[in-house]
Amino acid sequence: EVQLLESGGGLIQPGGGSLRLSCAASGFTFSDYAMTWVRQAPGKGLEWVSTISASGGSTFYADSVQGRFTISRDNSKDTLYLQMSSLRAEDTAIYFCAKGGSGSYYRFDFWGQGTLVTVSS
């Protein structure tokens, strides 16, 4: 059974340091699939944040986080990461990690339950 378990969310002040999210994967061969972070602000819709290729050699970012967030993965630990810095109030959201479909960057066939990041003073 595919499982994705996010962690690392919490309350952080605007511009105050950084936060690293983790997503522990199980139930599939992690190193075979691209992985993605998607976020959802409270009461709002889904927003694509970042995608990383299966090998980790290619990364892609939404304009809204480019230069502030870094996606990475450790295939030896079956874990996906999102390093977030220079956080803003508008980064407040539930952050979901999602598994890419077979050979695809553009569909997400399993999602974690999400971790809440709150940026507030």
* Site residues (vs other proteins, CB under 8 A): 36, 38, 45-48, 51, 58, 60, 62-63, 96, 98, 101, 104-114
- C-beta atoms surrounding 87 within 10 Å: 22
User: Minimum CB separation from other proteins for residue 74, in Å?
Assistant: 21
User: Minimum CB separation from other proteins for residue 87, in Å?
Assistant: 20
Compare residues 14 and 56 and give the one whose CB is closer to other proteins. Answer: 56
Strands 59-61 and 69-74: unpaired
Say which DSSP state 101 is in: P
User: Minimum CB separation from other proteins for residue 65, in Å?
Assistant: 11
User: Angle CA(22)–CA(4)–CA(117) in degrees, nearest 5?
Assistant: 45
User: Angle CA(75)–CA(4)–CA(45) in degrees, nearest 5?
Assistant: 120
Compare residues 13 and 26 and give the one whose CB is closer to other proteins. Answer: 26
User: Minimum CB separation from other proteins for residue 113, in Å?
Assistant: 5
Q: Tell me, what amino acid is at 14?
A: P
Q: Tokens 């691209």 identify what position? A: 34
Compare residues 13 and 58 and give the one whose CB is closer to other proteins. Answer: 58
Compare residues 30 and 108 and give the one whose CB is closer to other proteins. Answer: 108
